[in-house]
A and B are shown apart, each in its own frame.
Chain A
């Protein structure tokens, strides 16, 4: 059995008496950009949409928060926190952040020479943003700007 997430959410909204859920429909296919280096030669960037923040940083709020957090990739997992409008999916990530923000996993893959390096800073946002406009005009451009600043070769997006 598979989960038909898009149809399930449409029906769930309908059953709750909400306005019809409008999934994002892109105007065009995303431009295809093949990786120019071999993976083990690449510096990797990381974005998690899980609402991760580090101890000492401001947490996310639940109403279309479009801010991002820059988290040092060597942050101890005991100092990682989460706030996200769908708190019910954070039970295990709060026990083991690597479920959704795999910094320790990626450091291991560096040691195993699967990738060359992980950027010194990884990014997170609160993916439960219901404003398509804010995602397109605020979050995505800000993430792209920060990735370019890091001079990475490729980036892994871990969606929640």
Chain B
């Protein structure tokens, strides 16, 4: 099932519980509505603004990915401390 939202939002809009429930329940309904492998169902939710699509369609600019570092990349320093003390 596909929802046409910006990457990072496959399960709905932030802090929008109604939207999240709709998107996820719609995805689960794919277990019944899809009838063959490789079939893609569309979830009829609309992000609203469209500016993100211009950015997503851009083929120019910098590589925005992080360097391919092999060390754990903690979100916060406290996460590192918590992980290393357990």
**What residues of chain A have their CB less than 8 Å away from a CB belonging to chain B?**
1-5, 8, 11-12, 14-16, 29-32, 35, 39, 42, 44, 50, 53, 55-64, 81-83, 85-96, 98-102, 105-106, 108-109, 114-115, 128, 154, 156, 158-160
Contacts and interface: CB of A to CB of B under 8 A. Distances in A.
A57 B50 CA distance: 37
A99 B17 CA distance: 10
A1 B65 contact: no
Contacts of B14: 92-93, 95-96, 98-99
B73 A59 contact: yes
Nearest to A29: B37
Interface string B37-51: 110000000000010
A8 B64 contact: no
B11 A58 contact: no
B83 A89 contact: no
A59 B73 CA distance: 6
Contact of B12 (A16, A88, A99): A99
A156 B66 CA distance: 27
Interface string B67-84: 111111111101110110
A59 B75 contact: yes
Contacts of A96: 14-15
Q: Would you list the 10 A-B pairs with minimal beta carbon distance, nearest first?
A: A89-B8, A11-B59, A102-B11, A63-B68, A96-B14, A59-B72, A81-B75, A83-B73, A92-B14, A30-B37
A24 B6 CA distance: 22
